[in-house]
Amino acid sequence: MAEPLAVSTPAIRPENLIVGDEIPIADQVNVDGFPLARLSEASAREAAAAIDVVGLPLVTKAYSKSWRYREEALNDLERRVCGPTLAPPAALASVAAEPDPPAELRSTTFLLKRALNDQVLTVYRHALNLINPTIVVFGEKHGLTKQDIIASLDRLVPLLIQKTGDTSARIRDVTKAFLIEMAQWPILRHGGNFWHDILRPFPQTFLERLALSRVEIATELYALLGSSRPKSPSTQHPHAGGTPAGGLTDEGIITFAAHALEHRSNEVRDLAEALMVALYRSEDRNLVRRLLPPNDQEAQRQPLYRRLFSKFDRLDGHQPSAAAKPVTAASNQAAPKTIPQAPSRPARKTVPVATTSNVKPRKPTFARKSVPSKSPPQRPTEDPPFVADTADIDMLLSLDKTCIFCGEQDDSFTEEALDLHYWKNCPMLRRCPNCKQVVEISSLTEHLLVECEVAKASGGYMRCPTCSEAISKSTYSIHVEAASCRSSSNPALRCPLCHTDLPALADSSSPGSFEEAWKLHLMGTGTPSSACPQNTRALQKASTAAHPDPKTADNSALAGAEIRHSKRTDSLIPGKKMLLNRANAS
């Protein structure tokens, strides 16, 4: 028989340790017939402080390998902490000691932190639901200081944020919903490290799932709460004032979105772009431009920033030009002299709109006449027109007849026409060989490894350690012997179609360079020989361009006309992932 464990911690009495058969069978707790395993020496040393407070049986259940015991430990903890009276620490129960709320709070935080690392959804969700009653409500009920309560929450928030990148979609969704709810707790509105952790910028190589969840949470919180900076009634964007100690500050979320624009994932950049446009519409526009790269020739060479600054110009009432000039301080000061602005009207509700689009404004508009430089400026007889609802702005921003994947422009492109283009013709996309969903070719490998449910049901894929491609597990042994299995210096630039490496990026830190490298490889320069030899859509497109069919062109134009008259275009252009989901559902 094994010798009893000798634990050096004074607070742990040897007679309370669960060691093999030394405890009578009648005293052992059983769940569904499984005996409770003993607590190891290392675990007992780690949880010594919690054992002092809540007792060894509860901690033993919390450390059990059976999820049923772990869930039962949370039930015991809830009954102990949320009961009408607080029991004294277990280590002092024999001497009739008084309850110790601060020690109870520390042990509860320790046990919840362990439960929040659980991969069983039932246990994890139960631990989430206990955070508020066992920490916030408990602390306020027993007169603990706000600093003690916030300190306990600060120990859990980083773990929750990390969970938003979990491989389980259900755990990710539950955690995101809880963090959004948690942000609305009064105790966290302007205190602690919660907002600092939520808006902490992440690097370009950050895990895609985690980065995507972070941007989604920030967008949702901004939509619910807005910026916490107090607005002055006399100015529209008073950035000079002081900021509160915490909360969703305008500078914090703008900086977060600006860093997210540099992420390597297209989907993360698309969500960050939509968030940045919303911030530019509602917050200090000078601050937004200052925290972004300058609108110079370098920015205009990158599709993302070219598109983003074009949307900014539309919100400012400018007509975007084909070749934007570098933005300087002098040009910013001179802009209000030529374009009427609303200096004191909130940008969230009123934004000047140019009348050159096909959007029907709610108020009558007038044509603006150019004024000669030598004559004094003429004052208009009425105020410039304003649109009082951001829905019209969203519609204006969605009128680009351009495929955001390959850049093709067509006046017949509407929502349905673009869906058909994504499904059949876009050379940057391809249907998955398993689930037949349309995905980007540059992310086909990740789709096969992570997203494709059909592939998982049929045995799944694995990443080859040599070439970094997604290989079916059933054909892996054959693949490793094939000539196409060659080592890759940059897995993100390995084409899954022709199994060759794309040329090295001139500027690896620029997301535009990544997109341009893939576009050049997959589409080529317009001739069949310059595109990827395995990209059938690009080859077909180049062949059609070289030998156009008049009948096909006429039919395409008629189909585009039918779609144009049968479908509204009143929604803001969503992210690439959302566009593909819409195309796959149609």
pLDDT tens by residue, 153-177: 999 999 999 999 999 999 999 999 9
Residue 563: domain span: 429-585
Backbone angles phi, psi at 311, to 5 degrees: -65, -35
| Domain contains 283 | no
Residue 385 has pLDDT above 60, yes or no: no
Per DSSP, the residues of 447-491 read IIIII-HHHHHTT-EEE-TTT--EEEGGGHHHHTTSTT----S-G
At 280, is the pLDDT very low, low, confident or very high (cuts 50, 70, 90)? very high
Sign of CA dihedral 502, 505, 510, 516: negative
Which range, 303-312, 313-322, 557-566, is most confident?
Answer: 303-312
227 contacts 283 by C-beta, under 8 angstroms: yes
**In this structure, what token pair is assigned to residue 61?**
């259940």
| Residue with the larger pLDDT of the pair 383 and 129 | 129
In a domain, 240, yes or no: no
Q: Is residue 172 part of a domain?
A: no
pLDDT higher than threshold 60 for residue 360: no
Is the torsion defined by CA of 395, 400, 406, 411 positive or negative?
positive
Domain annotation covers residue 417? no
Q: Are 493 and 502 in contact (CB under 8 A)?
A: yes
| Rounded distance between C-alpha atoms, residue 158 and residue 163, angstroms | 9
Is residue 338 a part of any domain in this protein?
A: no
Residue with tokens 């060989």: 433
User: Which range among 35-49, 69-83, 386-400, 410-424 shows the weakest confidence by mean pLDDT?
Assistant: 386-400
**3-class secondary-structure state, position 284:** coil
- Record the pTM: 0.53
* Structural domains in the chain (count): 2
Among the candidates 81, 109, 144, a domain finishes at 144
Mean pLDDT across 219-239: 59
Residues 31-42, mean pLDDT to the nearest whole number: 75
Q: Are 1 and 20 in contact (CB under 8 A)?
A: yes
CA-derived radius of gyration, the chain:
30
The whole-angstrom separation of Cα 386 and Cα 316 is 12
| Separation between Cα atoms, residue 532 and residue 500, nearest integer Å | 9
Q: Tell which wins on pLDDT, 333 or 184.
A: 184
Looking at 144, 171, 189, the residue that finishes a domain is: 144
Q: What are the angstrom distances between the C-alpha of 473 and each of 286, 387, 457, 461, 569?
A: 53, 57, 12, 5, 44
Answer left, alpha or beta for residue 284, where phi above 0 means left and psi between -120 and 50 means alpha: beta
- Does a structural domain hold residue 15? yes
β-bridge mates for residue 501, sequence order: 494
Cα–Cα distance list, 362 to 388, 392, 393, 526 (Å): 8, 9, 12, 44
pLDDT value, residue 513? 67
**Quick check: 199 pLDDT over 90?**
yes
Contact 55, 103 (CB under 8 A): no
> Read out DSSP for 378-438?
PPPSSPPPEES-HHHHHHHHT---B-TTT--B-TT--HHHHHHHHHHT-TTEEE-TTT--E
Tokens representing residue 110 in the block:
């320790």
Chain centre distance of CA 81:
35
Given 126, 144, 162, the domain boundary residue is 144
Which tokens in the block code for residue 355? 């009348």
Distance of alpha carbon 312 from alpha carbon 74, whole angstroms: 51
Q: Is residue 97 part of a domain?
A: yes
Give the pLDDT confidence of 435-456 residue by residue, as tens digits: 888 888 988 888 888 888 888 8
pLDDT in tens, 97-126: 888 999 999 999 999 999 999 999 999 999
Using 50, 70 and 90 to split pLDDT, how confident is the model at 226? confident
Report the amino acid identity of residue 327.
V
User: Domain for residue 518, yes or no?
Assistant: yes
Q: Say whether pLDDT at 26 is over 80.
A: no
Structure confidence at residue 282 (pLDDT): 87
Q: How far is Cα 564 from Cα 561, in angstroms, rounded to an integer?
A: 5
Letter string b/e over residues 104-113, b meaning 16 or more CB atoms within 10 A of that residue's CB: bbbbbbbbbe
Summarize pLDDT for 522-575 with one digit per residue, the tens: 888 766 677 888 888 888 777 776 665 554 444 443 333 333 333 333 333 445
% of the chain surpassing 90 pLDDT: 35
Q: Is 21 left (phi over 0), alpha (psi -120 to 50) or beta?
A: alpha
